Amino acid sequence: MANPIFQTLLVLLVVMAHLVTAFTPPGEWGQTAVLIQDIIYVYGGAHPAEIGMTIMYTLDVSQSWNTTAPAWTDHSSDGGNFTRPRVAFHTMWPSDDEESFYVWGGGNIFPAKPTLCGFAQYNIANKSWSLPSDSAAVNMPPPRRETVASWSSSGIAYIWGGYGDTNTGQLVDGYLLSYLLAY
């Protein structure tokens, strides 16, 4: 008699675990994504009431999934009390060792603009956020939104384009700017 009850409880626990871990992220825009190994990291974004968010989702693409219910994982609470950049229309790139990624630029509608122009680092293994080293912040360009980043295997990120506005806290005359960040 205990065996059927145990099996029923086991099935119930499996279904409950799936309901807790599987979800579909809400529709947003202004998010940025980066692929590191077999995981897509999606960060930030906007919706009508809020431009500049700290949401982060991941999707493991090493395994197949049902297209109507991809296995997204919510990492928005990772990092504890660290103030994550509240940004939309930012850029992201992986570290050269692929153990972390960087977020930079973008903007938000809040009076307090992000520290270091929204420049932050997420450590994948520790699930923690931090500010990059002081050397990475040397000659920090002013924040821009809608920038594009490309990176080399030697740890250099090339960021170009974008513009400053009231959401970035940097009103400029619209020139496209190019920057080189070594991290």
How many domains is the chain partitioned into structurally? 1
Across 38-49, average pLDDT:
91
DSSP 137: G
The alpha-carbon radius of gyration of the chain (Å, integer) is 19
**What's the pLDDT at 137?**
62
CATH classification at residue 50? 2.120.10.80
Q: Which amino acid, 176?
A: L
Name the least confident of 51-65, 129-143, 149-163, 165-179.
165-179
Give the domain range for residue 70. 2-182
Residues linked to residue 147 through DSSP beta bridges, in sequence order: 161
| 180 Cβ contact partners less than 8 Å away, ≥ 6 residues apart | 156, 157, 158, 159
What's the burial of 117, exposed, middle or buried (CB within 10 Å: 0-12/13-18/19+)? buried
- pLDDT at site 35: 94
Q: pLDDT: is 176 or 116 the higher one?
A: 116
Instruction: Check residue 149 and give its pLDDT.
Output: 83
Place 58 in a pLDDT band, splitting at 50, 70 and 90: very high
Q: How confident is the model at residue 42 (pLDDT cuts 50, 70, 90)?
A: very high
Range 36-51 average pLDDT: 90
Q: Rounded distance, CA 47 to CA 52, Å?
A: 9
pLDDT tens digits, one per residue of 89-120: 888 999 889 999 999 888 777 766 666 667 88
Take residue 46 and report the two structure tokens written for it: 């906007």
- The mean predicted confidence, pLDDT, of the chain is 76
- Please tell me the pTM assigned to this model: 0.75
Task: Tell me the residue length of the chain.
Answer: 183
pLDDT surpasses 70 at 183? no
